[in-house]
Amino acid sequence: MRVESFTSTNGLTRYILVDSSGVPVDVVLRFLRFKDNCGRARNTLRAYCFHLKSYFEYLGFIGMSFPQIGMDELAGFIRWLQNNHRQKKIMSFPAATVSTCSAQTINVYLSTVYAFYDYLSRHEEYRLRLSDKLTRTIMGSRRGFKDFLYHINRTRQYDTRVIRLIEPKKRIKTLKKSEVENLLSACLTTRDRFLIQLLWESGLRIGEALALWLEDIEPDAHRIHIVDRGELTNLSEIKTVCSPRTVDVSADLINLFFEYIVEAHTDDVDTNHVFIKLSGAHKHSPLEYSDVSALVRRLQKRTGIYFTVHMLRHSSLSELRRLGWPVEQLRIRAGHHFVQSTYVYLHADDEEMRQEWIRTENQMLLRKGSTKNESGL
């Protein structure tokens, strides 16, 4: 099986799953069309398609079709993912193996499978009740403890998934200012320096940066406007309904923008996109995700610093929090709908925690001495 892209009648890039004969898998096509009509982003639809590709490969591996699947077979899908699709018989898996998929990644795959069966269960032509077995109803809190509003929520019902891996807590790495400065020094073009500094300073998502048009930057006011234009020719697009916003930036970044425009946006450039290719067969066309990935690999090799473009977003918001920004303002700057999403981006590093301990250490000290117990014992 393989995933193929195509251009829809309205000019958008979409994805289909085809079998070994090159025939589209009809049930997956219907599911993806349904999710597309519900407003799912292109990248989300692409992820759905790849997740279901793995799932249908697993079904072929065990010799079953999707209507035949039960709880045991779905649990076997987890082990199949953990073992990198290599085992010949699901029942003969070793008890302890090195997982090639994290618990978080496997849960994402399972979420797509859940959504797929939920979609099927709502169509009369599919007599599937597996989706009912995949969830159970609980009363009270979603959490494993009684929260502050338990007395209000204790009669409320929630559906929780029966099959789900426990995700170990991971400490997300952020970059120090000195590391970002090293990355900037390693950039060979003004465009690359402008992109890295923009992502660090503004906290924009990479899709938002690649979707910027020249008119979105307001130099006099030192502002950048993130505008929803749908899916663009370089496949960039903003992520959520809260993504359109205005972000304040420094005069230094605006000066770097002017320097870049003078160098790169010559009379030969025929695009409104801020970020363009500087060489090659597609010179002056909009910059794409693959170009940014290549830039990241080059900078990693030159500096020895591991980073991703999304790590710059984490680092930016964490630094602003450290400098005293309220979380609500960070939420708006990040383009989040819920403040809980913003908290995921706020990280305290070891040095910051060390300094906080030094500041409060004396207040934690216990009194020691030979004072007599008032009871006389």
pLDDT tens, position by position, 320-365: 888 888 888 888 898 888 888 787 777 666 666 777 777 777 777 7
- Phi and psi torsions of 282, nearest 5°: -110, 35
Domain with CATH 1.10.150.130 in the chain: 2-135
Among the ranges given (73-87, 168-182, 312-326, 358-372), the one the predictor scored with the smallest mean pLDDT: 358-372
Mention the CATH class of domain 2-135. Answer: mainly alpha
Mean pLDDT of the chain: 80
pLDDT at site 68: 82
The Cα 296–Cα 312 span in angstroms is 11
Residue numbers annotated as active site? 205, 239, 310, 313, 336, 345
pLDDT at 276 over 50: yes
Q: Which residue has the higher pLDDT, 366 or 188?
A: 188
User: CA-to-CA distance for 227 and 211, rounded, in angstroms?
Assistant: 8
Whole-angstrom Cα distance, residue 159 to residue 118? 13
Q: Which helix (H) or strand (E) holds 13?
A: strand 13-18
Distance, in Å, from the CA atom of 360 to the CA atom of 342, rounded to the nearest integer, reads 27
Q: Which of 208, 187, 190, 188 is nearest to 199 (CA)?
A: 208
CATH class of 177-334: mainly alpha
Of the pLDDT bands very low, low, confident and very high (cuts 50, 70, 90), residue 287 is: very high
Which amino acid is present at 64? M
Q: Are 288 and 210 in contact (CB under 8 A)?
A: yes
Rounded percentage of the chain residues whose pLDDT exceeds 70: 76
Average pLDDT score over residue span 202-218: 92
Q: According to CATH, where is 1.10.443.10 located in the chain?
A: 177-334
At 161 the pLDDT is 56
Which amino acid is located at 262 in the chain?
V
Buried/exposed 278-300: b ≥16 CB within 10 Å, e otherwise: eeeeeebbbbbeebbeebbeebe
Sorting pLDDT into bands at 50, 70 and 90, what band is 156? low
